[in-house]
Amino acid sequence: MIGKKMEAALNEQIKEELASAYLYLSMSAHFAAEGWDGMAGWMRVQAQEEQEHAMRLFDHIVERGGKVKLHALPAPEAKWASPLAAFQAAHKHEQHITACIHSLVDLAVKEKDHAAGAMLQWFVTEQVEEEDHASKAVQLLKLMGSEGRGLVIADHELGRRVAEKD
């Protein structure tokens, strides 16, 4: 049986993950409207991953006899000044999510919830990957420049990302 504090914290993290998906879908829509299909695809893959993360947490709560409580999601931003600005925002957002995961791990230790602690280790590792992907996209956009051929090449490169299977 899952404790009430951990249940509430995991429900809050489900909201964080779904809000992340919502943000990345908004970024995808922004890039699609601007004609950057590769970047739109990158963000769409990211949105899909965030939905999967939410479902991992959802399933953990259910498997431990808890109750999932879905919270309202805030409307995400809809426009960014440049592709670089959007990917910098994505990287900053992933750093926020990493901090949330670390807080959950701390809570699992405090509550002596070994099952949650074990499950959350997957997220700790995943967040290293998430931050790395966003950071590399930022680096690519900085190297390629904010216009012309470089941006077209960056769009093509970022569009090569495909959803990974667990």
Which domains, and CATH codes, for the chain?
4-158 (1.20.1260.10)
CA 145, 149, 152: angle at the middle one, nearest 5? 85
Mean pLDDT of the chain: 96
Q: What is the pLDDT along the chain (166 residues), one digit of tens a residue?
A: 999 999 999 999 999 999 999 999 999 999 999 999 999 999 999 999 999 999 999 999 999 999 999 999 999 999 999 999 999 999 999 999 999 999 999 999 999 999 999 999 999 999 999 999 999 999 999 999 877 899 999 999 999 988 776 5
Please give the model's pTM, rounded to 2 decimal places. 0.94
pLDDT of residue 157: 95
For residue 163, count other CB atoms closer than 10 A to its CB: 10
